[in-house]
Amino acid sequence: MKVAPLLSDRYRVIVPDLRGFGLSDAPADLEAYRMPVLLGDIAGLIEWAGGGPAFIAGHDFGGALTWQAATWLGHVVRRVVVLAAPHPLRMREVGAGNIEQLSRSFYVWLMQSGDPGIRLLSSDDFAMLGRFAFGTSPGFTAEDLEAYRAEWRRPGRFDAMANWYRAHFRPDLFNPDVPLELPKVQIPVRYVHGELDWAFARGMETGSGPFVESDFDEKVVGGASHWMPQERPAEVAELIHDWLSR
């Protein structure tokens, strides 16, 4: 939320609560979090806002959703910026059989394991989840972290958040024997990665370009972790504006 105010003087900025978060609905059904449904939310939001063409910038799972919107909603999306979420096929290339990536994604597999994993992540007032999610990022104050924990405590919200991972990060995600195919993106994409990002194995900060047939570039934010928008909001805002204004 630190980046949006820095762009609001140049764009009409919409920062939605995606399903399961904030004040949006949080369906209990796992099928409500499949990618076609999430893309329907994005398409509906663009229509509500007056129709395309729209720009999208997304971070982490929002970045993964941005890749999919760029792939399938190119008729209403003009340009995108993806932060800290390599293209899914790049994740497959680097992550398949990669013990480093599997260990960094351990919290995802805990969410897949059902009640035992959820109890572990939520124990001690979500202390383990907080360590996995935020690490030692200097971008968050104690008040920020407490606000996250307050959201996770709300009935049904932590399960809804976990359903995003259950619906997409299946145990076979990094299995090279399981087919994973996507058409190439046909609209311009800028990919931004933090130099010190702990969420992804080394190598994922580059290499997403071959999956884009339009203009593409990659930027690495030096000294920044996975949480670039919190740690370097002005730099991230400028990277977004520079790309969207072309």
Domains, the chain, ordered by start: 4-244 (3.40.50.1820)
Exposure pattern of 58-90 as b/e (b: 16+ CB <10 Å)? bbbbbbbbbbbbbbbbbeebebbbbbbbbbbbb
What per-residue confidence (pLDDT) applies to 108? 84
Element (H, E) at 221: strand 216-221
What per-residue confidence (pLDDT) applies to 52? 85
What per-residue confidence (pLDDT) applies to 175? 67
pLDDT one digit per residue (tens) for the chain, 246 residues: 799 999 999 999 999 999 999 999 999 999 999 999 999 999 999 999 999 899 999 999 999 999 999 999 999 999 999 999 999 999 888 877 778 887 888 888 888 888 898 999 999 999 999 998 998 899 999 999 999 999 999 999 999 999 999 998 776 666 667 778 899 999 999 999 999 999 998 889 999 999 999 999 999 999 999 999 999 999 999 999 999 999
From CA 171, how far away is CA 113, in angstroms rounded?
10
Element (H, E) at 182: none
pTM check: above 0.85? yes
CA 174 and chain centroid, separation: 18
What per-residue confidence (pLDDT) applies to 179? 74
From CA 35, how far away is CA 33, in angstroms rounded?
6
What per-residue confidence (pLDDT) applies to 172? 65
Token reading at 226: 């996975």
Residue 191: closest CA among 158, 217, 212: 217
What number of CA atoms fall less than 13 Å from residue 49's CA on the CB side? 19
Token reading at 182: 């996507």
